Amino acid sequence: MRAIAQASGLRQMGVRPPLTEYVRALWARRAFIRTLGSAKAYARNQGSYLGQLWSVLNPLLNSLVYVFIFGILIKTTRGTENGIAFIVTGVFIYRFFDSSVTSGANSLKNNMSLVRSVHFPRAALPISTTITELATLGPALVVMCVVSWLSGLLPKQGDVPITWRLLLLPVAVGLMWVFNTGCAFFVARWVAITPDLGNVIPFVLRFVFYASGVLFSVDHYIKNEALAGVLTYQPVAVFLNMARSTVLNEPTIPLDPVMWIVGAGWALVAVVFGFLVFWRGEERYGRD
Amino acid sequence: MSIPEEIDFEVDADDLTPLAEDGKALGSPSLVVDDLYVTYRVFGGKRVGNATGQKPGVLKRFLSGGRTHVGGVTSVEAIKGVSFVARHGESIGVVGINGSGKSTLMRAIAGLIPPTHGAVYVSGDPSLLGVNAVLMGSLTGERNVMIGGLALGLTPDEVRERFDEIVDFSGIGDAIYLPMKAYSSGMGARLRFAISSAAVPDVLMIDEALATGDAAFRKKSKARIDAIRDQAGTVFLVSHSLATIESICSRTLWVHQGKLVMDGPSAEVCAAYKAFVRAQDGASR
């Protein structure tokens, strides 16, 4: 049988292709990945009268909650000049990570009908889900910057001027997207092989949330040097720091080249190892 | 034994012309299936206890009670050792009762379900269309045409070029701009058929898609299948309508309980299958 197949130049199906071939096939489907990712982001806001207006309204309402609670109800500075802007940027940027990991974990399960009907490199699915999250983040970033600037006009809150540093925000978000995609590769494979891990991910994410200084400045509260070092240079905290240093005007968060190099390093490590881990499971996706 | 489902014995297809035996020589092999096994891992099933028929004691039930709710994983052997060779220009029917493994066999050939043992060798990219294969329900037909076309490996320009043709062929008109969840099952099946056959694959598998169309659509899709076969592709047709299979396919595979029972000319295999189903029908009565 094998001899017949080889004599007529047939290709074996359902086996993991070599890495270079896999990458090439994935690159050839880049239009598919982009279209699928953006179409899903678009579909999220359909099914209501206001439709795509919700892509702006949603983050706006979200940030108003934080302005109300942390700007009006609880007047704490938490070691920052402008607590509202600090929290709004933190929450929006952290959410990007959180939702990328969550939807990346379910990317194979949620697209099973597509997996069972068309053949393509399965790595396209985790990538397209993080593109969906990136497309959702786009309008939210604009809201984030506007709310941060407006919060500077409130009494007792530090100014948030618009500076050239804002131009670096897309770079920070882009690096974070690469990092998120890498994480999505890891969890996508783990959850596909062992679905139980899908139940553990929310707890891990909750832990990361508090360990990354989303709502408070970590070095303001943690005095142990070794621990503070770990918490400062862990990837999510690094990306939060990068994004905040472009938007905010905090003396404690200067634009630090070291952070940007560390961030780029984390992104590269995550995406390379994540991709390899995902690729090694390729022949198993879709059998459950 | 399970009760076999109803089979469409009537030759209802007034529009289906009998298969023209033009004696065309078959081409080189386009598909080789070598001792294929497919095992599913199914979560959430209930553990089946001992089959002695006796009720287990209270203590035993207490001890094993938790186990039906924890670790309920079942391995389902859907395909058990299937081998055959298909050639360019051949159209092959696949028959079998529900749950015999027809759809799984098609998916494994299309590379959508990895085999647990054995191998499938194919020329080019095989394409599967079935009534179960849902695209994105929340998106419009238009977006689904784009996504489906791109997933099949077309470029965005190629999809745009063929868009009108796909919509025309599916015959669903302006409904193309509505979300697919608003479609009737027939409309969805027509659009899927139109998308999947937009790129001419080397191996096309049709999983009961023709059953949902009306008479006019069946005629159109038969013409499309003939065109694909003429371009030296191989066509597989899974259907419960033996009349359709006999009129479209020259060769038929009969799958039963994951094994290939019979492989030969459609008339012979269909007759044997018909006899088998009648016997089952009689036995269950």
- The domain limits of chain A are 15-284
Highest mean pLDDT among A52-61, B62-71, B252-261: B252-261
**Summary mean pLDDT of chain A:** 87
Contact B29 A4 (CB under 8 A): yes
List pLDDT tens digits, range B239-255: 888 888 888 888 999 99
Angle (CA) A11-A15-A20 rounded to 5° is: 80
Residue B8 has φ and ψ, to the nearest 5°, of -80, 90
DSSP β-ladder status, A11-13 and B117-122: antiparallel
pLDDT of the residue at B239: 84
pLDDT of the residue at A235: 94
pLDDT of the residue at A234: 92
Residues of B in contact with A4 (CB under 8 A): 29, 32, 85
Q: Are A287 and B114 in contact (CB under 8 A)?
A: yes
Contact A118 B148 (CB under 8 A): yes
Identify the CA nearest to A133 among candidates A215, A63, A59, A197: A59
Reported ipTM: the value is 0.78
Q: Indicate the residue of B127, B147, B179 with minimum beta-carbon distance to A36.
A: B147
User: CB A245: neighbour CB atoms within 10 A?
Assistant: 21
Distance, CA of B176 to CA of B141 (rounded, Å): 5
Identify the CA nearest to A278 among candidates A26, A12, A1, A9: A26
Distance, CA of B53 to CA of B63 (rounded, Å): 18
Distance, CA of A102 to CA of A81 (rounded, Å): 32
List pLDDT tens digits, range A112-140: 878 877 788 899 999 999 999 999 999 99
> What is the side-by-side order of every strand in the sheet holding B251-256?
B127-130, B203-207, B234-238, B91-95, B251-256, B259-265
| Chain A contact for B74 (CB, 8 A cutoff) | no
For tokens 């929340």, the residue is B138
Q: What is the mean pLDDT of residues A268-286?
A: 91
Distance, CA of B198 to CA of B131 (rounded, Å): 17
Distance, CA of A5 to CA of A186 (rounded, Å): 35
DSSP β-ladder status, B259-265 and B251-256: antiparallel
Which of B:26-55 have CB within 8 Å of A?
28-32, 34-35, 38-43
pLDDT of the residue at B69: 67
Contact B119 A15 (CB under 8 A): yes
Distance, CA of A59 to CA of A65 (rounded, Å): 10
Using the predicted structure, report yes or no on whether residue B9 has a pLDDT greater than 50: no
Highest mean pLDDT among A34-38, A49-53, B127-131, B166-170: A34-38
pLDDT of the residue at B45: 67
The two three-digit tokens of residue A276, written as one number:
């390899």
List pLDDT tens digits, range B184-232: 877 887 888 888 777 777 788 887 656 566 777 777 877 877 777 777 5
More confident residue, A9 or A85: A85
Domains of chain B: 29-35+87-284 (3.40.50.300)
Contact B114 A116 (CB under 8 A): no
Give burial (CB, 10 Å; 0-12/13-18/19+) of A218. Answer: buried
Q: What is the DSSP string of A151-189?
A: HTTSTTS------GGGGGHHHHHHHHHHHHHHHHHHHHH
Cα A188 to Cα A69, A95, A239, distances in angstroms: 36, 18, 22
pLDDT of the residue at B285: 64
Q: Indicate the residue of B41, B42, B150 with minimum beta-carbon distance to A32.
A: B150
Contact B150 A117 (CB under 8 A): no
User: Which H or E element spans position B32?
Assistant: strand B29-43
Using the predicted structure, report yes or no on whether residue B13 has a pLDDT greater than 50: no
Identify the CA nearest to A46 among candidates B230, B264, B180, B105: B180
More confident residue, A96 or A284: A96
Q: Are B104 and B51 in contact (CB under 8 A)?
A: no
Q: How confident is the model at residue B127 (pLDDT cuts 50, 70, 90)?
A: confident
User: CB B97: neighbour CB atoms within 10 A?
Assistant: 21
pLDDT of the residue at B28: 80
Lowest mean pLDDT across A25-29, B130-134, B243-247: B130-134
Q: How confident is the model at residue B21 (pLDDT cuts 50, 70, 90)?
A: very low
Contact B133 A117 (CB under 8 A): yes
Lowest mean pLDDT across A206-210, A266-270, B222-226: B222-226
List pLDDT tens digits, range B30-66: 888 888 898 887 777 665 544 455 566 666 666 665 5
Lowest mean pLDDT across A236-240, B18-22, B211-215: B18-22
Q: In chain A, which residue's Cα lies nearest the Cα of B150?
A: A32
Torsion of the alpha carbons at A168, A169, A171 and A173, rounded to the nearest 10? 170
